[in-house]
Structure 1
Amino acid sequence: MRAALSAAVAACAVTVVPPAAASAGTTAGAGVAGARGAGVERISVATDGTQADDDSGGASITHDGRRIVFSSSAKNLTADATTGGVRVFLRDQRTRQTQRMGNLAPLQPPVISGDGAYLGYAHQWMDNVRIRQYQVSTGRTASLDCSAYTCDQPSLSADGRYTAHVIRSIRQPSFGQRIEVQDWNNGSRNETVAVLDHTQPSRPSISGDGRHVAYQDGRTKDVLVWDQADGTTSDPIEGPSKEATLVQLSDDGSKVVYLSGSDTYVHDMSSGTAQLVPNVRGVAIDPTGRYLLYAPHDTNGPSLTLRDLQTGTDETVSNQPASAGTDAVSAEGRDVVFQSTADDIVPGDTNGKSDVFVRGFY
């Protein structure tokens, strides 16, 4: 096992590509520059404001709500989005521009660093899977090449320096799965700072400073938190008496959201206590750990709701059928990005496709 693990670590290498290798395709988006505030807006629109011609989804948002990254098979979002197939797009809400990030098909929803400087996603390369990371300002790319090993399910630190991801062997099923933490060191060279040896882990969730990584041991159904400062791993945060499924670690590392049975729990790392949110499925938590996005199990009410964990008050994100992923809430719960096939969220939605929306609360 130790030999196999060492081989996996040695196989991972970063290849830096010149900025020209990343296709930007920046075009002006619809709307008024800098427009923000309460209400809902469709993000997956063409450069002239017309609706996308195919499905869009899998979105995440930066801490300040300015940038949203999502995947789409639409051909009319940017002038260079004509090759077909699913691609990754970046929407800048301040400049109202949409940018295509390369010409690779994402295997999972793309993720963006909290400051909006970097984004990353897993893609197929020959017979394995790599993680491609983009620097938004320059288009410079770096690829995590895992050779005979598959690397996917990335989670980025706030500045994009650290990536936590899953690594597994294609040719050695007995190898199982591991969580690896990579230091990209601004994209120029890389260093593997940790390989967490647990069987069948879920998608990891890394804190903003890269110090903590929450992940799930898929075999034991335990949620654990690793601390880079001293290299230690916590006991199962849900305790010994129940199984748990990881949702997300807050960016400040203070809260861990997990599911157990039909309920959601928000674990406080400093006190070791958990706040129960009964009969709902937690979806995401904002970077400060105060606002929880959840989906009620009761289908008669809203499909997505944002709760202030301090006051216990709720805000409806969507009354229509909708879904969202982790990294869907900006800081202090100001914005929530989600996807829906509903045609009555905004006026003029007649494409019959899944669209990406952002709900602003103030």
Structure 2
Amino acid sequence: MSETNIFSYYVGGQCLNEPAFDPSHETCIHEEALIATLPPDRGAIKPQDEFVLKKQGRNSGFSFLVGCVDNHTDPPGFENPDIQRISNDLDGSRPNNNSVNAVLSADGRFAAFQSFASDLIDGDNNDLSDIFVYDRENNSTERVSVASDGNESDGGSYKPSISADGRSVSFTSVSGNIGSVNNGKANIFVRDRDKKETRNVSVSSSGEGANNNSFVSSISADGRYVAFNSSATNLAPPCTSGIDSVFIHDRQSKKTVCASVAYDGWTANGGSGAPSISGDGGSVVFGSWADNLVASKDENGSYDIFIRNMADGAIKMLSAGANGNSGTPRISADGKTAVFWSQATNLTPNSDSDWWKIFTLDADKDAYKKCSGIVTHEKWNEGTYSSRILPAISVDGRYVAFDATEELTPDDTNGVADVFVCDTESGKTARVSKAKDGGREVNDNSGSPDISGDGRFISFQTWSYGSEFYADCFIAKNPLFKKP
């Protein structure tokens, strides 16, 4: 019996750069990938199986979840009135392809998401991944990965970020016809939904397009500032070496600056990525391999989390002293709290496991909280599914949403990845991806959560058994939410 190769059409996951482990999680834009090679004795493939992604013949450390859903019926358990599907076709039914990576406006009215479906709107004929915005108040869906003249894109678009009011949406796209720059690279675009304008923001202060790929955008609350990472050498000094760097573009002044700069003004000596910008654009958190970003010695040899104050240029290592890798940071809109995953065993008491854990940190007081205990399955270290998506945090830092395969709540018995929310004030954790009565559970993996700024709503994607490999996006009420 020979090995079995499994191929998958890309559905919006993420892949890792060299070295094999890099929590910067740069977006993978390959639309076909070898996701696994099974040994001869592996046996039959089941809908719930999990496989490690292989990119260009090597193990990249990313896992693909084989999940199935029916193309015409809702997943079991989702009749819950507190849970609403936000990826709908023109008839209000399930669309004909994957919908993933939903993000929410501050009040949860608008949800931006990525979809390969062609039946969400009229006139979607490009057969590519597009970015859409669903208006929950008007029950309407709008495609935003289009040119200013309304023409649809000629390349796939991925990973949206949305402003607080839902007006501006940033995203990554390999399209060459929706902005002023056609450089054959992945670029960052912003769609102004009011003005019906789409602009390329992965540009230098003079307007020159990036000469290499740009990924993973994060937009400020008012839509003025956009943080992203890029390996371009022509965007802003001193980040001209070609290693991954974090940039911020000011849509008002048209200036682009590099945020992943060493404390003394020199270029970082390691790649940086996964930026998250505060609501006012004044602070940005990101991950980096560089050990020269701060004046104090960074000798842990790990991927660390940093925060830069864009007003005075001050930079601080948030994962200082960590004895393991940390990654996928997010900052609250008020700029006071950061959340990230870490393998470190010394950030808080009783964190002696090297499994991945989620931490929140008061950026001013250096006060760590371990939000959820161990939240990934022990088999992560064997290369299976991990919570690879960014955790999400409310404006004030109180609520943190994340996905995990561990059974963190007594009612979690489905044995698959679920979405949870943690109230950092009460210390309580509740599952979000479940039926209202708790009698029926989602029967396949859920993940990629986001949380509205006010903390009331949580979006996520889920797979469920059926005849197709389709994922849907949902929004649910936060079961732990309490009015201020």
The CA distance in 1 between the partners of 2:462 and 2:195, in whole Å, is: 32
The CA distance in 2 between the partners of 1:83 and 1:72, in whole Å, is: 12
Is residue 168–residue 178 contact of structure 1 (8 Å, CA) maintained in 2?
A: yes
Q: Does 1:113 align with 2:236?
A: no
Structure 2 equivalent of residue 290 of structure 1: 398
| 1:258-302 Cα shifts (integer Å, max 9, x gaps) | 222121110111221100131025721122210011233425467
Structure 2 equivalent of residue 353 of structure 1: 470
The worse-fitting range, judged by mean Cα deviation, of 166-175 and 154-163 is 166-175
Structure 1 equivalent of residue 243 of structure 2: 176
| Structure 1 residues 241 and 51: CA distance shift in structure 2, 3 A | closer
Amino acid at match of 2:256: T
CA RMSD of the aligned region, Å? 2.5
Query: Which structure has the highest helix share of the two?
Result: 1
Which among 280, 302, 312 is matched to residue 230 of structure 1?
312
Amino acid at match of 2:99: S
Residues matched between the structures, number: 317
Structure 2 equivalent of residue 311 of structure 1: 426
| 1:163-190 Cα shifts (integer Å, max 9, x gaps) | 11112138999521211111101xxx50
Structure 1 equivalent of residue 332 of structure 2: 250
**Shift of residue 240, structure 1, vs aligned partner:** 5.1
Which among 198, 214, 220 is matched to residue 285 of structure 2?
214
**Shift of residue 229, structure 1, vs aligned partner:** 1.8
Q: Percent identity?
A: 23
Unaligned runs of 5+ in 2: 1-79, 147-151, 177-182, 204-208, 262-267, 291-301, 344-355, 376-386, 408-412, 435-441, 480-484
Q: Does 1:335 align with 2:457?
A: yes
Query: Which structure has the highest strand share of the two?
Result: 1
Amino acid at match of 2:285: A
Amino acid at match of 1:111: S
Is residue 39–residue 361 contact of structure 1 (8 Å, CA) maintained in 2?
A: no
The CA distance in 1 between the partners of 2:161 and 2:230, in whole Å, is: 17
Aligned-partner SS, 1:270: coil
Aligned-partner SS, 1:46: coil
Is residue 214–residue 232 contact of structure 2 (8 Å, CA) maintained in 1?
A: no
TM-score, normalization by structure 1: 0.80
Is residue 306–residue 315 contact of structure 1 (8 Å, CA) maintained in 2?
A: yes
Q: Does 1:205 align with 2:272?
A: no
Which among 87, 92, 113 is matched to residue 49 of structure 1?
92
Amino acid at match of 2:422: R
Amino acid at match of 2:303: K
Structure 2 equivalent of residue 263 of structure 1: 357
Aligned-partner SS, 1:204: strand
Structure 2 equivalent of residue 4 of structure 1: none
Amino acid at match of 1:98: T
Amino acid at match of 2:471: S
Structure 1 equivalent of residue 109 of structure 2: 66
| Structure 1 residues 55 and 243: CA distance shift in structure 2, 3 A | closer
